[in-house]
Amino acid sequence: MLKILVTGGNGQLANCIKEVSSQHLDTLTFIYKSSKELDITDKVAVFKEFEGGGYHFCVNTAAYTNVDGAENDQGKADLVNRVGPKNIAEACKKNDVVLVHISTDFVFDGGQSTPNTEQAVTNPLGVYGSSKLKGEQAVVSKCKKYFVIRTSWLYSEYGSNFMKSMLKYGRERESLSVVYDQIGTPTYAKDLAEVILLFVLNRIDDYGIYHYSNEGVASWYDFAKAIFDINDVVVQLLPIRTEAYPLPAKRPSFSVLDKSKIKNVLQIEIPYWRDSLKRACDDLGHPYQEQ
Ligand SMILES: NC(=O)c1ccc[n+]([C@@H]2O[C@H](COP(=O)([O-])OP(=O)(O)OC[C@H]3O[C@@H](n4cnc5c(N)ncnc54)[C@H](OP(=O)(O)O)[C@@H]3O)[C@@H](O)[C@H]2O)c1
C-alpha cells in the first residue's frame, strides 16, 4: 500500500485527485490536508506531519493562486509559493518521500511563438509567476526525488475557474468581451489528476521537470466560445485585445507547453482540449446551475 499526502486538500486539483483516485483505493491511501489542517508555510508543522506520516509520496497542490491579487500581496505569494514548497521539499528529502509539485506556464514570458519545452528559458512577467518559479527552484535544490509538473489554464467542476465563471456570466449577461490575443491550452484538472496518479502507480523514477496540458491551442475567446457552444448558452461574445481589459498582472501572450517529454515517459496520449471540455461539461451537468 502506498501512502500519499495531498496538500491544499480543499483546492480544485486536490478534489480532482480525490475523484479520479477512487478506483485505486485498494493500493493507494490518500491523506488530504486543507490549509487549516496543514499550513505549508509552517515549517515545524510540515516536518511534524512528515515525521510519523509514513508517506511514500507528497502531491503539493497548495498554492497562492490569485494571479492579480499577488501583485499587491507579494509577501503572501512568496510565503505560500516559495517558502511552502521549500519546507515540503526539505521534509520529503529527510523522510525519503517522492514529491510531486505543481507549477505553471506563467513561469514563461510568452515572447516566443513555439511551444515551450522544459528547458526553455523562464522569465515570469508577474509576482505569481515569479513566486511559482522560486518554488520550483526550491524543490529542485532541496530534494532529488521530485516531479515538478507545469500546467496551464486549469478548470473543472471544483473551485473557481474560467469555465464556471463563463457559464455564470454567459447566463447573466447579454454580451461578454473576452481576450483573443493570449494563446495557451485549457487543461481539465481531472486529466492532470490522472497523470499525477500515473507517476505514482507506475513508480516512475525519471525525476525532473515536466509539462502537462491538454492537446491543442486556444485563445481565451476560443475557450469561452467552446464553453458556450457545448452548453447551448446564447450570449454575444466579443473578441477583444488584452489592452482593452487591463488587469493588475501581465500575462504571457503565448504560453503553449511542449508535452513531448511527459508523453514519452508515461507512454500516454493526451486528450484534445475540446474533447476534455465536453467531458467536463458532462461531469458538471446540463444545464449547469451555480450553487
Ligand atoms: N488554476 C489554474 O488555472 C492553474 C494554472 C496553472 C498552474 N496551476 C497550479 O496548479 C496547482 C493547483 O491549483 P488549483 O487550481 O487546484 O488551485 P486552488 O483551487 O486555488 O487550490 C489551492 C489550494 O491551496 C491552499 N493553500 C493556500 N495557502 C496554503 C497554505 N499556506 N498551506 C496549505 N494550503 C494552502 C488553498 O486553501 P485555501 O482556499 O484555504 O486558501 C487551496 O485549497 C497550484 O500549484 C497552481 O499554482 C493552477
- Domain residue ranges of the chain, discontinuous segments joined by +: 2-161+186-215+256-272
- Kindly report the protein residue whose alpha carbon is nearest to atom 42 of ligand 1: 11
Q: Where are the alpha helices (DSSP H) in 96-175?
A: 127-142, 162-172
CA 81 to ligand 1 centroid distance, Å = 9
Q: Which three cell numbers stand for residue 81?
A: 509559493
**How far apart (Å, rounded) are the C-alpha atoms in residues 222 and 192?**
21
Pocket of ligand 1 from Cβ distances under 6 Å = 7-8, 10-13, 35, 38-41, 61-65, 80, 84, 102, 104, 132, 151-154, 159
CA 30 to ligand 1 centroid distance, Å = 18
Q: What is the DSSP code (8-state) at residue 257?
A: B
Q: What angle do CA 134, 140, 142 make, to 5 degrees?
A: 95
pLDDT per position in the chain (291 positions), as tens? 999 999 999 999 999 999 999 999 999 999 999 999 999 999 999 999 999 899 999 999 999 999 999 999 999 999 999 999 999 999 999 999 999 999 999 999 999 999 999 999 999 999 999 999 999 999 999 999 999 999 999 999 999 999 999 999 999 999 999 999 999 999 999 999 999 999 999 999 999 999 999 999 999 999 999 999 999 999 999 999 999 998 999 999 999 999 999 999 999 999 999 999 999 999 988 656 665
Residue the block writes with cell 526525488:
145
Q: Which atom of ligand 1 is nearest to the CA of 10?
A: 43
How many other C-beta atoms are found inside a 10 Å radius of the C-beta of residue 127? 24
Check if the beta carbon of residue 104 is closer than 8 Å to that of residue 132: yes
N- to C-terminal Cα distance for the chain? 37
Check if the beta carbon of residue 253 is closer than 8 Å to that of residue 271: no
**How far apart (Å, rounded) are the C-alpha atoms in residues 285 and 222?**
21
Residue the block writes with cell 478548470:
155
pLDDT of residue 177: 97
Q: Which three cell numbers stand for residue 232?
A: 447551448
- Fold for domain 2-161+186-215+256-272? Rossmann fold (3.40.50)
Q: Which of 45, 13, 18 is nearest to 31 (CA)?
A: 18
